[in-house]
Amino acid sequence: MIFINSCKLFESINRFISKSIYLNQVLNELYLKIIMLFQITISISTMSLADFLLSLIPLDTEELEDILSHFEKEDIPKNTMLIAEGEISKKLYFTESGMGRSYYLKKDGKEITQWFFGSGKFMSSVDSFFQQSPSFYYLETLEDSVVFSITKEKLDQLFSNYQKMEQLGRLVSIEMLTKVVNKLNAIQFQTAKERYEYMLEEFPDISYRVALGHIASYLGMTQETLSRIRR
């Protein structure tokens, strides 16, 4: 009888230890996720327009001040529609902080994300802005954003006045074209997991800032597939 009771006590202790170990594992995982989220939150960067310009082209103080005077600073609330399909894009936006996306609608009304725009990036319906033609895309903010906007007339003025701005335009255009081609190649030739990992290289904190449905459509996969590869 004593042996049987001892065995039962031993089993109870084992169960208690197992549950304690599992609880500790859960708490540790939760702690790590909180720390990761905190680190990502404080690392969400901002980049001023001045810093962006100076990182690409040499400008003296007078040139920089004149160029910046052509831009208008705007504080734009989350979920603001900047341009809708069929409208002509009147402004090009430099994102100092916040997040935006461009997307289009399929015939069934489903939204397909074309691109995300974070800090230090220009966003617009590019073909609509430069050609002043109706946009194929919608453009919206996903977070409260601080942007610097410029009209096409003022941008053309800068291109005429500063050869350095033409150089900037070429550099930005090449970067955008390269990223579009890389995205197309990823969708065509990479697995779902490889596409997800490639996106994280471009937008490391995006899964904490953007709805999974937007991310899934951007990657060309279902939300179920995205949830599975994120585990």
Strand 72-76 with 145-151, pairing: antiparallel
| DSSP state at residue 88 | B
What residues does each domain of the chain span?
1-43, 49-189
Tens of pLDDT, residue by residue over 99-114, are 999 999 999 999 999 9
CA 82 remoteness from chain centre:
16
pTM of the model: 0.77
pLDDT tens by residue, 144-178: 999 999 999 999 999 999 999 999 989 988 888 88
Homologous superfamily (CATH) for 49-189: Jelly Rolls (2.60.120.10)
Say how far residue 123 (Cα) sits from the centre of its chain. 11
Pairing verdict, β 138-141 and 145-151: unpaired
pLDDT for res 77: 98
